[in-house]
Amino acid sequence: MNKPNSISRRGFIKTLSSSALGVGALATLNQSSFAGTGKTSVGKAKNLIFMVSDGMDNGTLSAANHWLNLTENRDSNWIQLYKDRLAVRRLVETNCADSLVTDSAAASSAWGIGKRVNMRSVNVTPDGASPTPLGICAKEKGKSVGMVTTARITHATPAGFAANVPHRDMESVIAEQYLERKIDVLLGGGDEHFNPEKREDGKDLYSAFSAKGYQVLKSKEGLLNKGMSGEALLGVFSEDHIPYWIDRENIEAIGSKTPSLEEMTEVALKRLQKNPTGFFLQVEAGRVDHAGHANDAAAIVTEQLEFDRTIKLVRKFAEANPDTMVIVTTDHGTGGFMLNGADEGYQYTAERFLKLGNCKGSYTTIESHMNPKDPHGTWVRAVESVLNIQLDASEKESLMHALTLPEDKGLYSASKRIAEAIKPIAYNRFSTEWTSYNHTADVVEMAMWGPGAEELPGYIENWELHQVIRDYLAI
C-alpha cells in the first residue's frame, strides 16, 4: 500500500492529513483528465435529459434491482440499460472544493458551472465568482429548460443548473432567479418559497410568474388535465418536499393530490419538446437522499423504484427522439444503505427483504401517529401499525429507551430517535443496515446514452460533466 502522502495524482492527501484543509484546496486539483484534453464535440444532441437519484448509494441501486428480481422477475430499468447495451457505464468521483464528501449544492454546481465549489454554495466559486449555470447557457442558445424534482423545486440540485447564490438555504432568492432567468418548466414542491403568506418578504411569486406568462398549477388533477398544453409552467404540489412515495401510495389524502415523478416528467417532456431548437431537462428523485438521511429502508427503496419507473419513461422518449442524450446518475451517496446476508448461511435474506413490502408508510408517518402527550402509549402502536409487524418484548423495551434520547429534527421530518430505535429492528426483520445518517464519499454510477456517449472515458470527475454536456448540446 502506498504511503498516505504519495497516493493520488492530485496530491491533496498530505494536506488532509496535516489537520488543516484550506478553503478551496480540493478545487485546485490537477484537472488533467477528459475536460482538460481539448476534446470537443464528441457528439451532437438536440436534447439532453439529466436524471439524478439524489443520495443514491450503490447499495440502493442494488436493493431496487433485487426487489424487482424477487417481485417481478425482472431487472430494474437502470440495470436493463446495461444489459441491453443501450447505455455506457461510467464511474464518477464526487469531491467538492473543501471536502472529500460533498453536499448536493456543491455537487450540482460542479455539473452546473464545471468548477468545484465549497459545501452549500450554489454556483459561487471559492473566490466569489458566479459563472453562468448550464441551464442558462442552454437558454442563451435558444433551448428550453426544465427542472423536475420530488424535493422543493428551489432545492440544491435543481438550483445548481439555473441559479447563483452563496448559500443553498437562500431558496426564496433562488425562486426569484428562476423567474428572472425564465426557466420554462418548474415542477416539484416548495410552496413556502412562492406563497406570499409564507415568504418572509411577503412577495407573491405565484402572481409574479403568472404575470410573466407562466401557467401556475398546484394539484395533481390540474397538472394532468391542464399541464400538457402551453409553454411556461410552474407547478408546486406541496408546502415542503413532495411526500415520500410510500406515503403517497398508502395515504389517499396525500396520493390523490400529489403527482408522481413520472407524471411530472411526462408533462415536462410534452412542454419542452415543442421547441424546435431542443431542450435541457433535469429530473431529480430528491427524496432518495432524505430517506437515506433518515435511515428509512422502505422509503429509500420505494423512492428509488419511482425513479426507476421514470427511467423507463425517459428511455421511451429517447427511443422516439434519437437526437436526445440521456445521463442517469447521482450526486453522492447518503446513509450507506445495504441489504445484508441474513443468518449464518444467508438463505433467509430474500425472505426478510421481501417483508419490507408490508410497510405502510415512512418514518415520517410513524412520527405523525405518535401523541407527544402519551408517547409510551402510542409509540409501540405507531411502529407496529406503519411497519406492519408485531414487536417482541425486547423490541418494545428498545423503543421505550429511545424516548429518553434527545430529540433531533434534522433527518427530514423523522426524528433521529425514531431512526435509532428502529435500526436494530429493521436489521433483524428486513436485513437492511446503514453506515451513518450522513453523505458518503462513494464513487458513483452513471449510465449514459445518445449520440457520442461511447466517447466518454470510463472514469471522470463530477465537474467534467459540465463541458461534456455543453459539447453534446453545442452550447
- What pLDDT does 410 receive? 62
The 8-class DSSP code of residue 294 comes to T
Cβ neighbours around 390 below 10 Å, total: 8
| Grid cell at residue 99 | 471536502
User: Which H or E run contains 206?
Assistant: helix 205-211
Low-confidence ranges of the chain (pLDDT < 70): 1-43, 408-414
298 contacts 337 by C-beta, under 8 angstroms: no
Give me the pLDDT at residue 39, please: 42
* pLDDT in the model for residue 381: 93
Rounded CA-CA distance 260/310 in Å is 9
Enter the C-alpha cell of residue 185: 418548466
Question: What is the rounded CA–CA span in Å between residue 427 and residue 431?
Answer: 4
| pLDDT per position as a tens digit, 30-83 | 343 444 333 434 458 999 999 999 999 999 999 999 999 999 999 999 999 999
Instruction: Spell out where 315-452 has E strands.
Output: 324-329, 333-334, 338-339, 432-433, 439-440, 444-449
CA 16 to chain centre: 28
CATH H superfamily, domain 35-337+441-473: Alkaline Phosphatase, subunit A (3.40.720.10)
| C-alpha count within 13 angstroms, C-beta hemisphere, residue 289 | 27
Structure confidence at residue 6 (pLDDT): 28
At residue 415, the pLDDT reads: 75
Give the pLDDT confidence score for residue 32 in this predicted structure.
35
Query: Helix, strand, coil: what percent of the chain each, to 5?
Result: 45, 15, 45
pLDDT of 400: 84
Amino acid identity, position 299: A
Please choose, from the candidates 286, 459, 298, 277, the residue with its C-alpha nearest in 3D space to the C-alpha of residue 364.
298
C-alpha angle with apex 71: 65 to 73, nearest 5 degrees? Answer: 75
pLDDT at 12 (0 to 100):
32
Instruction: Spell out the domain ranges in the chain.
Output: 35-337+441-473, 341-433
pLDDT at 409: 62
User: How far is CA 153 from each of CA 24, 156, 166, rounded to the nearest angstrom?
Assistant: 28, 9, 18
Q: Round to whole Å and give the CA distance between 53 and 55.
A: 6
SS3 track for 337-375: CEECCCCCCCCCHHHHHHHHHHCCCCHHHHHHHCCCCCH
